[in-house]
Amino acid sequence: MKARVHIMLKTGVLDPQGEAVRHALGSLGFDGVDKVRQGKVIELELAETDPAKAEAEVARMCEALLANTVIERYDVELV
């Protein structure tokens, strides 16, 4: 089973990378971009075949290592 984890900074946390991308887009002539938030996507191939167990296992991975839950939020998607 494959899982995809989307990790983004929580609302209210400054995103300097997103701001740099927004600025660069403006410099390239893309003037209609008011805000950019940058995140990351992690894909995992899991041996687990039960969707509920797989989602719980990936959530534990996120809490332990993949996401900094103090400043980031994550969403688990089974694909």
Domain with residue 51: its CATH number is 3.30.1280.10
How many domains does the chain divide into? Answer: 1
| pTM given for the model | 0.89
> In terms of residue numbers, what domain contains 38?
2-78
pLDDT (0 to 100) of residue 69 = 98
pLDDT (0 to 100) of residue 10 = 98
> d(Cα 36, Cα 43) in Å, to the nearest integer?
23
pLDDT (0 to 100) of residue 24 = 97
pLDDT (0 to 100) of residue 9 = 98
CA 36 to each of CA 6, 7, 62, 79: distance values in angstroms, whole numbers, following the listed order: 16, 14, 23, 26
Per-10-residue mean pLDDT of the chain, 79 residues long, equals 98 97 97 96 98 98 98 98
